[in-house]
Structure 1
Amino acid sequence: MNKHHEIRIEEVCEKSLVSEGYISVRDKYTIHSQPSSKLIDFNPQSALIESVLIEYVKTSQPKAWKAHTNNYPSTSEKALIDRTIQEIKRRGIIDVLRKGITDRGVEFRLIRFTPNTSMNAELTYQYDANTFYVARQLHYSNLNKDLSLDTVLFVNGLPLVTIEFKNEYTGQNYENAITQYKTDRDSREPIFEFKRRTLVHFAVDTTNAYMTTRLEDEATRFLPFNQGSNGAGNVGGSGNPINTNDYDTSYLWNHVLTKDNLLNILNRFVHYQQDINEETGEVEKEYIIFPRYHQLDVVSKIIDDVSENGSGKNYLIEHSAGSGKSNSIAWLAHRLSTLHKNDQKVFNTIIVVTDRKVLDSQLQSTIYQFDHTPGVVVKIDKGKTSKDLLKAINDGKQIIITTIQKFPNIYQDIVQNNRNFAVIVDEAHQSQTGETAKALKQGLANIEETLKYYAELQEIEEEKLKDDLETLEILSQGSHNNLSFFAFTATPKNKTLQLFGVPYEEDGKRKYRPFHVYSMKQAIEEGFILDVLKNYMAYETYFKIAKSVADDPEMEIKSAAKEVLKYQSLHPYNISQKTAIMLDHFSHITKNKIGGKAKAMVVTSSRLSAVRYYYEFAKQISEKQMTGLDILVAFSGVVEDQGTEYTEQGINKTKEGRVISETQLPREFERNFNCLIVAEKYQTGFDEPLLHTMFVDKRLTGVKAVQTLSRLNRIVKGKEDTFILDFVNHVDEIKKSFQPYYEATILENETNPNVMYDIKNQLDNMQIYRTEEIVGFNTIYFSREEKNASKFSNFLRPAIDRYNLLDDIKKSEFKSGVSSFLRVYSFITNVERLLDKKLHEYYNYLKFLRMILPRDNNKIILDDKLILEYYKNEQIFSGSIHLEENQGGVVPIQGGILGKEKKKDKLSRILDDINLAFGTHFSEMDKVLLQFVEDLTKNHELKSFGKNNDIKSFELIYKDYFDNMLIDRIEENNNFFEKLGQDDDFKKVVMDKLLPLVFERIRKDSK
């Protein structure tokens, strides 16, 4: 036999499993098998090895079997098989495996999973009695006796896994195995019946492994079950590392499918999931979820590490979008809740911190399948309060799902009682180094050992410190032996890495890396997300802005420049031109994607910008009589524009005129709309697979850029690509933002705690506060008497009075220093315990002082002093942004006083600098259009009408004056005017472009 034939792979797999305790078996038709293979009586009709199942029950549960034979004296074996088939058909094989079956009051277990402890001898006996079979070339068909499967794995006679092998050396690979499953394996055969027999099917060659949990003939979808090119949990792409001693896919039989690992997967990972229509309550789709390799790996590695080290360590998991993070969190939460060491639970309570509703429901339903005890999972959602969270923690509930915002109100009332807590953090870059995170830690931390050490250090009796609120607050800093954090994120920041990451030494520096990685690169290459940088188009906006007033005031350069750019961004002409470009791209690109179901998002720079874009979109859609484009807008609060107030709910309506609430918007966008205009909403955590196109009119950098643009990367049937049109950001900036998160993120050096003392010294030298004020403030702050603002004010007001005497530069320096100190202190004390009482009092004082520092009211308003003269958009890039294959580094957090002199200049010179930066060589047409504006604004009748009417009324007579102006200039610019006279569509475009410019000039001239 050729050693490269696929039978060779089957044989290697079989021998490996047999060496791990499987029994090699064959049916009466099998040719290829080990000579010692045991003959079995596999029944294709029931798809069971019935005699093996019966033998397991008899051997492992003799008392139950005896009761069963009393119920069925002459048909006990047939009754067991019939009841098993009946229950599997009704409940599914997963539920039967986990809960067993009952027949006339007699309970049977068809499989016994690994016991959590060794304290129950009966469970251990039933576990040891499990029988594992590996069958090669199993003739499975009830219709065609010639059909066989390469390999089938049984546990106690129940078929659970099938494998089809191929070998590249014979000219076939895993794709041929997938084709074989789709075309030659009839899904109606009993052994393939979804959720009732085999749970997973592998298509394997020497280098790749793929899997599916449901055979649907040609519609079957296989997913990669590879480790990653550098091994699971490491930086890399798709595929598997080269194995010089075995097949690259040998991990499947050498590790994944070994007896204990298979039982572990069946017991703690595999689950049944349904998509239910919320309106009808009907099941729209159902799945069997089998873990992908990296999911299996991350949970296993964490559990192994916790089993060895116990509670007290932190773990950072950098898993990209598309990693199946929700399931990974659910599996980890359940495993941690049942984890024992020396027959004692490692954690008493698991707390999952998340803001995602999807994870709430998914976590509950997933864990319920593993542990069907009511109340195991408690969800503290919007309908519940902090008191509900407090009760759940103090009652010792096993798994609690909550938001971190509920902890500040209850942390002092949590009863610690020597309990260990595991905190799983979803999206760990959010809110894990601030006050709310500190409250969580203060409430859960066991500080008994630390208190004893601190009392000895201070030479104070321990009992005297137990009620000292300040001491208790300080001692809760840093890490604690009873508290472990498991932080999941796709985009770890520098703080996240130092707080949760794995420290290591390199080049004389202390660096931090994630505990486990599933990279963006691997997710893209494996097809779980799309590459959002593949189709990227960038525009540059050029403009020239002039003064519309005679005077030339002097003003602070930075603030004035900011207002000039804001004026340009919100200018009706800018918004109308960009809207026209977006609508054109939607019509020609977006609407034809995903079978006509594609959606778009417009990312704007402000709430006012979002409102103006919404109404400009609506206007142009109406004017162009566009169909198939339905828009929504999303922003917070109330926006005022030219005397009118706008709210999200006030604008958004269904086609029937019904108000769309904030909570209804995501569902309405999913079902009935295809363009969403946003301002600081839906840029993170928003999962809409049909989102194909993003129009960006906002500066994006770093994590914010990655999170925002990644809204497009979700996959759905028919979605082959994405499209981004960016009006603001340069391609190099976007590449720089994405690069650290493409493979893995490393913190290049840890933050030096002495930064805090350096900042404090600088602030001390400014002499804004006094030591006695800080001490007096903290005396009240840590007293148990009722606190009010007036008591604090006595110690804060003197500092405010001194602050008000500073010049603008010193004020800026002080504010910057205060913010920097608070940020660094909050972070450092999350990482380590300082035991510096004076510094902690200083922190508390500054925290409250910052709240009442006067705001800078020297706001510059320039709208009535500026006018847009030239404007054009030009495409400068179209193509793919390629990322480098290397680990991205982030720098530690910095601190310091950043106040700078506020330089001033004349408005005219400020405008010259801006126009130089944003200008270009404007065309003759640009100049002709400017002359049109000049001509129209000189017409006295038009000016009079424009001064006294709104733009809609003005537009009614504007057309006539435009035509008259054309007649007056008919002999100039012949080619251009000839086109205007002959092309009505072109003429309308020019008229529409000039309308807002003419109206604005008239209104400003009138002032």
Structure 2
Amino acid sequence: MVDLSYESEFEQRICEYLAAHGWEYSANGEGYDAERALFPEDVFDWFKDLDPQAWKRSIGSGPRADSAKEALLDLIVQLRSTPLDNRGGGPGGTLQLLRSNVPVGLRDEMKMIQWRPADPTNATRMAAYDKVRLRIMRQVHYSRQKPHDSIDLVAFINGIPVATFELKTNFKQSIDAAVKQYAQDRKPKGEPLLAFGTGALVHFVVTESEVRMTTHLDGENTYFLPFNQGNNGGAGNPVNEHGPATAYLWEQVMARDTWLDIFGSMLFVDVKTSANVITRERKTSTNVIFPRFHQWQAVSRMVEQVKAESVGGRFLIQHSAGSGKTNTIGWTAHRLSNLHDHTGRKVFDTVMVITDRTVLDDQMQRAVLQIEGKPDYVYNVDRRARTDEGSKSRALLKALQDRRRIVVVTIQTFPAVLKLLSQDDSLAGHRFAVIADEAHSSQAGATAKKVRQVLRAGGQEVDEGAEVDAEDTINAFADVPTPNVSFFAFTATPKPKTIELFGRRKTPDAKPSAFDVYSMKQAIQEGFILDVLPRYQSYGTVYQIAEAIKKNGVNVSADDEDNLVEKTAAAKALKRFVRLHPTNISQKVEIIVEHFRANVAGLLGGHARP
């Protein structure tokens, strides 16, 4: 076994593995253009192999060819400098360059990358895909300002740098040392390779036991996310008997098809605008979204399982709060909408997403628009019905008949979905994927009444005052055999009925369980949600303490006598604490806001203000 005591041997292990699995390997930074942040040789060879005639026609030979090549590299740098503002549907920056055609000469345009075709029988695209060049390069001197500084590893696709890596070994330094190195010594200003959005898209810190990543180097403000598998339901990685615990990074995530699929169909630029409710100042934040490990793993496992068993399966994805379910659902919907079997047939005619969250619909619209470049790829039934002033049922039926790729419906519309799938002859032979968003959005008022009617129609007994939610509605129909429908249920805390209907048995005698799990324990340990249990006291405990004080009084030791305070002063302090406590204030604010919304907001032509 190779001794991993030194970083150079760790680098060598990773690079030699990749070189044996479809990557080009540069043992040093020779040939790297630091000023442009490109590896020109791969750029030229990609275009030349993709279309030799167009390359010869556009570039020519002799001195003319040299100047034409320089002009091409400058053009690529210019295209990569597109702002990350999402205008025109493209993500901008490096990501838009990777997904665009590049003018080569005066007459030709060629793809910067051919992504893996969804249809494996498309021989022309598959041949082009096989020519894509992946390269891993060691000790890259990237800086014009600090020419002696080097980054341990840089990954390229067709000569475009997409990822950097700083490695540390547990015998020498911790992963925090690599994080500190990026924050303090890898300042992005004036460095094309490290520039946010227009340089490498993701930066990894790696030891033998842990991986973290970020898409935005910002000095001391740089924030790294865990990129670990999880260990026994918690954070970290399990022991790997055959090598480092982090070998999954280069053996699985950086496998040729996987690596290209991530950059081709998962990365997107997320632009959000928020407004200060008091100053009304608007603020825009821009982020490049790279999937966390559990997100990539869940989507990949579902896709592979569907390929193996075709349509009709059921999947329970139990991902805790803090897991990023919104993005995971969006990626799942997109991948399933493009999924083909080995014969080239689409597996699903339509993917339906059931959600009441507008943020999911909006984010999915933005992400899919960047990946596919088609503004109508995601079809929202409720929104379309309002726009066309028609009924939701009519809009839904037309969307399904037209084989819309992704259709978004609310839980209230879901019963109409099931009715159409089972009764409408025009949909005979169609195959569907149904993705149910976070299930515990309880319904109230008139909506609850409708949901209870749906449940009773499905044969379930429901008390009039019982709380109901989206999960109950979906479960009511999941009992019915659906050979032409695959169900994918996403929830953090599934009910027993949901586990029974959507869970899978690992053995015939085993209890059903979730297909994929990102636990609350892992989310807490990775810092995405807070652990409330250390401060939790049951009502029983509080009652016993109160009764003991009532019966026995409070015994004060001699040591504590100096800490006693005057009763009146203490009472005033307690009242002030209660009056100014955030919970008390928030409850008062809620009453004021609700009163304004219900009774005042509609006055003055809708311009009334609190």
Secondary structure of the structure 2 residue equivalent to 1:419 = coil
1:393 is matched with 400
User: Is residue 2:112 matched to residue 1:101?
Assistant: no
Equivalent residue, structure 1, for 2:77: 85
For 2:296, the aligned partner's letter is L
Map 1:121-200; keep pairs closer than 5 Å: 121-170=123-172, 172-188=173-189, 189-200=191-202
Q: Which residue of 1 aligns with 2:243?
A: 246
Which residue does 1:587 correspond to in 2? 580
Tell me what 1:639 maps to. none
Aligned to 1:343: 344
Match of 1:276? Answer: 273
Distance 1:64 1:108 in 2: 9
Tell me the equivalent position of 1:422. 433
Aligned-partner Cα distance in 2 for 1:491–1:176:
37
Alignment of 1:583-982 (within 5 A): 584-585=577-578, 587=580, 590=582, 601-602=586-587, 614=588, 630-632=589-591, 649-650=598-599
Q: Deviations over 1:75-111 (max 9, x none)?
A: 3212221211111111311112122323545221121
1:58 aligned onto 2:48? yes
Corresponding letter in the other structure for 1:491: T
The amino acid that maps onto 2:99 is: R
Aligned residue among 110, 115, 118 for 1:116: 118
SS of the residue corresponding to residue 422 of structure 1 reads strand
Q: In 2 relative to 1, CA 153–417 (structure 1 residues): closer, same or farther, beyond 3 Å? A: same
The residue that corresponds to 1:287 in the other structure is 287
Which protein shows a greater Rg? 1
SS at match of 1:15: helix
Q: 1:633 to 1:229 in 2, by over 3 A?
A: farther
Helix, strand or coil: the match of 2:10?
helix
Instruction: State the match for 1:314 in structure 2.
Output: 314
Q: Using structure 2 for the length normalisation, give the TM-score.
A: 0.79
Answer yes or no: is the 8 Å Cα contact 1:319–1:518 preserved in 2: yes
- CA deviations over 1:931-954 (Å, ceiling 9, x no partner): xxxxxxxxxxxxxxxxxxxxxxxx
- The offset of 1:26, in angstroms, is 3.7
Shift of 1:112: 1.4
CA contact (8 A) 1:52 1:156 kept: yes
1:340-489 aligned within 5 A: 340-341=340-341, 342-381=343-382, 384=386, 385-408=392-415, 411-412=419-420, 414=424, 415-428=426-439, 436=454, 478-489=480-491
Q: Is the 8 A contact 1:633 1:652 kept in 2?
A: no
| CA distance in 2: counterparts of 1:649 and 1:143, whole angstroms | 61
Matches within 5 A, 1:523-538: 523-536=523-536
Judge conservation of contact 1:650–1:659 (CA < 8 Å) in 2.
no
Task: Tell me, yes or no, if the aligned pair for 1:136 and 1:151 is still in contact at 8 Å.
Answer: yes
SS in structure 1 of the partner of residue 481 of structure 2: coil
Contact preservation (8 Å) 1:25, 1:136:
yes
Q: Report the equivalent of 2:553.
A: none
The verdict on how the C-alpha distance between 1:5 and 1:281 changes in structure 2, with shifts beyond 3 A counting, is same
Q: What CA distance in whole angstroms lies between the structure 2 residues aligned with 1:479 and 1:276?
A: 44
How far did residue 438 of structure 1 move? Answer: 9.8
Counterparts of 1:586 and 1:209 in 2: how far apart (Å)?
A: 46
Distance 1:438 1:324, change over 3 A: farther
Matched residue type, 1:293:
F
Contact 2:35 2:144 in 1 (8 A): yes
**Secondary structure in 2 matching 1:179:** helix
Q: Report the alpha carbon displacement of residue 302 of structure 1 after superposing the two structures with TM.
A: 0.4
CA shift for structure 1 position 650: 2.1
Residue 518 (structure 2) aligns with? 518
Residue matched to 1:202: 204
- Aligned partners of 2:74 and 2:597: how far apart in 1? 60
- Contact 1:208–1:240, Cα closer than 8 Å, also in 2: yes
- Cα displacement (A) at 1:118: 3.1
1:5 CA drift (Å):
1.3
AA of the residue aligned to 1:649? A
Q: Shift of residue 361 of structure 1?
A: 0.3
User: Given the superposition, is the C-alpha separation of residues 653 and 159 from structure 1 closer, same or farther in structure 2, using an over 3 Å criterion?
Assistant: same
What number of residue pairs does the alignment pair up? 531
Separation in 1 of the partners of 2:455 and 2:123?
43
- Please say if residues 431 and 437 of structure 1, whose CA atoms lie closer than 8 Å, have aligned partners that are also in contact: no
Q: Which whole-Å CA distance do the structure 1 matches of 2:478 and 2:98 have between them? A: 44
Q: Cα 1:532–1:100, aligned 2, differ >3 Å: closer, same or farther?
A: farther
User: 1:475: Cα distance to partner?
Assistant: 12
The Cα of 1:2 is off from its aligned counterpart by 6.7
CA displacement, residues 837-896 of structure 1 (integer Å, 9 cap, x when unaligned): xxxxxxxxxxxxxxxxxxxxxxxxxxxxxxxxxxxxxxxxxxxxxxxxxxxxxxxxxxxx
Aligned residue in 1 for 2:549? none
Compared with structure 1, are the counterparts of its residues 132 and 499 closer, same or farther at alpha carbon in structure 2 (3 Å cutoff)?
same
What displacement does 1:180 show? 0.4
Partner of 1:4: 5
Q: CA deviation at 1:405?
A: 1.1
Q: 2:34 aligns with which of 15, 25, 44?
A: 44
Q: 1:257-309: CA deviations, max 9, x gaps?
A: 12211101101111111112479997611001110000010001000100100
Q: What corresponds to 1:963 in structure 2?
A: none
Any conservation in 2 of the 1:386–1:407 contact (CA below 8 Å)?
Answer: no
- Partner letter of residue 138 of structure 1? V
Give 1:434 shift: 6.7
Residue in structure 2 matched with residue 258 of structure 1 by the alignment: 255
* Paired AA for residue 269 in structure 2: Y
The amino acid across from 2:155 in the alignment is L
> Structure 2, unaligned stretches of length 5 or more?
83-91, 387-391, 444-450, 459-475, 547-572
1:44/1:142 contact within 8 Å kept = yes
Shift of 1:429: 5.0
Q: Deviations over 1:576-598 (max 9, x none)?
A: xxxx979724636x49xxxxxxx
CA contact (8 A) 2:4 2:169 kept: no
Q: Is the 8 A contact 1:429 1:496 kept in 2?
A: no
3-state SS in 2 of match to 1:146 = coil
Give yes or no for contact 2:318–2:491 (8 Å, CA) kept in 1.
Answer: yes
TM-aligned CA distance change 1:80 to 1:96, over 3 Å: same
**By how many angstroms is 1:251 displaced?**
0.9
Mapped contact 2:479–2:501 kept (Cα < 8 A): no
Task: Give the SS at the match of 1:240.
Answer: coil
Distance 2:248 2:416 in 1: 49
Q: Separation in 1 of the partners of 2:170 and 2:585?
A: 43
- Give the drift of 1:400: 0.7
Conservation of the 8 A alpha-carbon contact between 1:649 and 1:659: no
Rounded to whole Å, the distance in 1 between the matches of 2:438 and 2:575 is 32
Equivalent pair of 2:135/2:157 in contact (CA under 8 Å):
yes
Superposition CA RMSD, Å: 3.6
SS in 2 for 1:306: helix
1:751 paired residue number: none
Same amino acid, percent of matched pairs: 36
Q: Secondary structure in 2 aligned to 1:133? A: strand
- Relative to structure 1, the CA distance from residue 386 to residue 338 in structure 2 (aligned partners, 3 Å threshold; closer, same or farther) is same
Distance 1:206 1:420 in 2: 44
CA change 1:243–1:26 in 2 (3 A) is closer
**1:476-500 CA distances to partner (integer Å, 9 max, x unpaired)?**
9622221001000011001111121
The one-letter code sitting in structure 2 at the alignment partner of 1:374 is: P
